[in-house]
Structure 1
Amino acid sequence: MESREGIGFGRSVATLVVAAVLVCAAASLARSVFEPLAAALFIMGIVWPAQKWLQSRLPKLAALAITILFTTLICLAFASVAAWAFGRVGHFLVADAARYQAFYERAVMWLDGHGVEIAGLWAEHFNVSWLLGAMQYVTGRANSLLSFWLIAIVYVVLGLIEIDDFRRRIDRLENRTAARVLLEGSAATAAKFRKYLLVRTQMSIVTGVLVGLFAGITGLPFAFEWGVIAFVLNYIPFIGPFIATLFPTLLAMTQFESWPAVFGIFACLNIIQFVVGSYIEPRVAGASVSISPLVVLFAIFLWTFLWGLFGTFIGVPIMLAILTFCGEHPSTRWIAELLGGPVEAKSAQP
């Protein structure tokens, strides 16, 4: 009996793995279709309570127009502030690229003198052309975002118009289990999206303020811009905070003559990120949006590989949605329990 259960479980796991691989392949091949759809579903989960509240007081189309207007304004404000901060720092780095090249050449010579052979290979790749190429790639991606967000907004408009009708269609399904999973899973996922975005925004603000204040106190140039960059990148767990500490450290290398000062800045910035991300955020977020850190990191790398820059931002919400729907059905609940957040150890019963 146990062997049959084991075989059945193994087949279920194999089926899930094959299905996951096929879904990832489809998502990668049709990314131009699924990327704006994923963004639209995420936005709909965030703004639906406001849309529902407005619909109870205004005509449906008027409520929809207000919701879309405010959503667009918020997205434009976020993108404009991020582009301004990255643009200010990026122009400075490009203008000062020769100085960084000379600095790294001196560092490579010192490392080669102490037997670190890999330093020469690193020097071949870190140069002015590499930096300019990276900036051109970011600029090219920014230009393609316009069509992406136009399609996403169209999805949001159509989705908000039909959401009530779609809910009634699901409720009329003969398969009551499927109807329950879809309705309860969608409601729970939308609630977790809102909680996730609220917590990340709060922690991003705290991180941005602390990083900006620290940069200003230490005399690091572009203190306000570093605060904004830390605020933006904090929406990407793990990788974003690390990048937000790496770039100010690179700037400090050419601004301060003392290596202890550079290492001190890097260490203090990481302490800020660690305290906010590992101590404050879990207590604010609670268990409702808790996911295993290993799963979070895997989701970021996977969706970045599949969808590039957008996948970096949306990877964790997608994983959050998958685990939420898995938790709604008995046959897949074990996946949500296995990949969820840390479980507190229960005290021994007397």
Structure 2
Amino acid sequence: MLVGIAAAMVVLYGIREVASIAGPIVLALVLVIAVSPVRGRLAARNLPTWLQVTVPFLIVVLVILGMVGVLTIAAAELAALLPTYATQFDRLLVDAQHWATTHGLSNEMINKGLQAFDPGKIVELAQSLLGSAIGVLSAMFLIVVLLLTMSLDAPVTAKILNSGVGTKPRLVTALGVFAHKTRRYLIVSTVFGIIYAALDVVALSLLDVPLPLLWGLLALIANYIPNIGFVIGLLPPAMLALLDGGVQKMLLVIMAYTITNVVTQSFVLPKFLGDAVGLSTTVTFISVIVWTFVLGPLGALLAIPLSLLAQALFIDSDPRAGWAQALVSGKLPGGK
């Protein structure tokens, strides 16, 4: 066991050193797996091979461009809006100082806190978010090339995997289950993400928060990041609500997001997601932490598919690892 843990640590640190390459490779693999049914339907109709490659490839590229575009626009709009709220920000500081004074805090402590706090850091943060979003564009060329090569090789790769049924049946079956669960995860997350984002857009529109549709799209994208995606999607509209309408409006936004998140993500989604991917809540949370440490923000986005791939390679393909499979899924071998 100790040797296995040590080997895992070496592998994870090695992947971390090449995260700029490993991340796009895994993302391209997941996206190719996601659109593989499209290629299968085109092949079933005996359409030309170039069409079987081009259509799924274009679908994936358009999705990536859309997601990067939304993130870039969100960061740019936030960076552009924050300076216009300078007066409201100063008023909030005065109100906060008055509240703190009336509740027993000394002016000396408040002044030290205000001196340590630089309002310009908020704008710098927004600008850094914009830079990070634009930085994703620098990896687009690598991702597109990987998508193209994987799409070209996908038909042959499927035949090669099927040819290994006689020699490595459990591994071939495990990889097939991995692909199936990955697609189910993406479908379930997308459906519930759309519902969650639509409810957020309605709430933000009723509360008159600026750019509600944009923040709804951001919530949809952040929905693919388990556990912490809710916070990522909430921060920009909550900040704008605070500057636009004060603490009360911010609390209403937080309350609206929390209610929609609890209903869609906490009560309903876990049942469907647990059945779709077969990972326990604890394993899901740990996977986000581990893969974010290894691959950065992209690791958080790919945490579930990466964990499913690791499960397929090291657990599902091993007939002796039934106990580990039950531990990861949180269910006894009998399904209880």
- Give the TM-score category using the shorter length: 0.7 to 0.9
**In structure 2, do the counterparts of structure 1 residues 139 and 163 end up closer, same or farther at CA, with 3 Å as the change threshold?**
same
The answer to whether the 8 A contact 2:292-2:298 is kept is yes
Cross-structure match for 2:172: 183
SS in structure 2 of the partner of residue 287 of structure 1: helix
The answer to whether the 8 A contact 2:75-2:129 is kept is no
1:271 maps to 2:259: yes
Q: CA deviation at 1:279?
A: 1.4
How many angstroms apart in 2 are the aligned matches of 1:330 and 1:94? Answer: 60
SS in structure 2 of the partner of residue 291 of structure 1: coil
SS in structure 1 of the partner of residue 278 of structure 2: coil
Q: Say which of 138, 149, 153 aligns to 1:158.
A: 149
1:316 maps to 2:304: yes
Unaligned runs of 5+ in 2: none
The answer to whether the 8 A contact 1:85-1:228 is kept is no
**In structure 2, do the counterparts of structure 1 residues 189 and 131 end up closer, same or farther at CA, with 3 Å as the change threshold?**
same
The answer to whether the 8 A contact 1:207-1:276 is kept is yes
**In structure 2, do the counterparts of structure 1 residues 158 and 97 end up closer, same or farther at CA, with 3 Å as the change threshold?**
same
RMSD: 3.2
Residue 317 of structure 1 aligns with an amino acid whose one-letter code is P
How many angstroms apart in 1 are the aligned matches of 2:324 and 2:93? Answer: 47
Cross-structure match for 2:120: 129
Cross-structure match for 2:72: 83
Cross-structure match for 2:96: 107
1:282 maps to 2:282: no
The answer to whether the 8 A contact 1:324-1:336 is kept is no
Cross-structure match for 2:130: 139
Cross-structure match for 2:51: 62
Residue 142 of structure 2 aligns with an amino acid whose one-letter code is I
Cross-structure match for 2:231: 242
Residue 153 of structure 2 aligns with an amino acid whose one-letter code is E
The answer to whether the 8 A contact 1:105-1:123 is kept is no
Aligned runs of 1:1-350 on 2, under 5 Å? 13-56=1-44, 57-97=46-86, 99-100=88-89, 103-104=92-93, 106-107=95-96, 110-111=99-100, 114=104, 127-170=118-161, 176=167, 179-257=168-246, 259-325=247-313, 326-341=315-330
**In structure 2, do the counterparts of structure 1 residues 132 and 253 end up closer, same or farther at CA, with 3 Å as the change threshold?**
closer
1:37-90, CA deviations, whole angstroms, 9 ceiling, x for partnerless residues? 111211121122212222342221232122212221222123223333343233
**In structure 2, do the counterparts of structure 1 residues 140 and 261 end up closer, same or farther at CA, with 3 Å as the change threshold?**
closer
Q: CA deviation at 1:205?
A: 0.7
Q: CA deviation at 1:32?
A: 2.3
**In structure 2, do the counterparts of structure 1 residues 22 and 122 end up closer, same or farther at CA, with 3 Å as the change threshold?**
farther
Residue 275 of structure 2 aligns with an amino acid whose one-letter code is A
Paired residues, what number?
Answer: 332
**In structure 2, do the counterparts of structure 1 residues 87 and 168 end up closer, same or farther at CA, with 3 Å as the change threshold?**
same
How many angstroms apart in 1 are the aligned matches of 2:151 and 2:84? Answer: 46
The answer to whether the 8 A contact 1:208-1:230 is kept is yes
The answer to whether the 8 A contact 1:242-1:270 is kept is no
- Which shifted more, 269-278 or 115-124? 115-124
How many angstroms apart in 1 are the aligned matches of 2:228 and 2:21? Answer: 26
**In structure 2, do the counterparts of structure 1 residues 21 and 288 end up closer, same or farther at CA, with 3 Å as the change threshold?**
same
- Which shifted more, 295-304 or 120-129? 120-129
Q: CA deviation at 1:307?
A: 2.0
**Higher RCO (Cα < 8 Å, 6 or more apart):** 2
Residue 63 of structure 1 aligns with an amino acid whose one-letter code is Q
**In structure 2, do the counterparts of structure 1 residues 341 and 285 end up closer, same or farther at CA, with 3 Å as the change threshold?**
same
The answer to whether the 8 A contact 1:36-1:151 is kept is yes
1:91-145, CA deviations, whole angstroms, 9 ceiling, x for partnerless residues? 2124325643652465367447545999888766753332233233333333332
Residue 76 of structure 1 aligns with an amino acid whose one-letter code is L
Residue 62 of structure 2 aligns with an amino acid whose one-letter code is L
Unaligned runs of 5+ in 1: 1-12
- Which shifted more, 95-104 or 28-37? 95-104
1:135-160, CA deviations, whole angstroms, 9 ceiling, x for partnerless residues? 33333333332342322232232223
How many angstroms apart in 2 are the aligned matches of 1:342 and 1:124? Answer: 54
SS in structure 1 of the partner of residue 139 of structure 2: helix
Residue 138 of structure 1 aligns with an amino acid whose one-letter code is L
* TM-score of the pair, normalised by structure 1: 0.82
How many angstroms apart in 1 are the aligned matches of 2:203 and 2:157? Answer: 50
The answer to whether the 8 A contact 1:101-1:126 is kept is no
Cross-structure match for 1:6: none
How many angstroms apart in 2 are the aligned matches of 1:344 and 1:256? Answer: 54
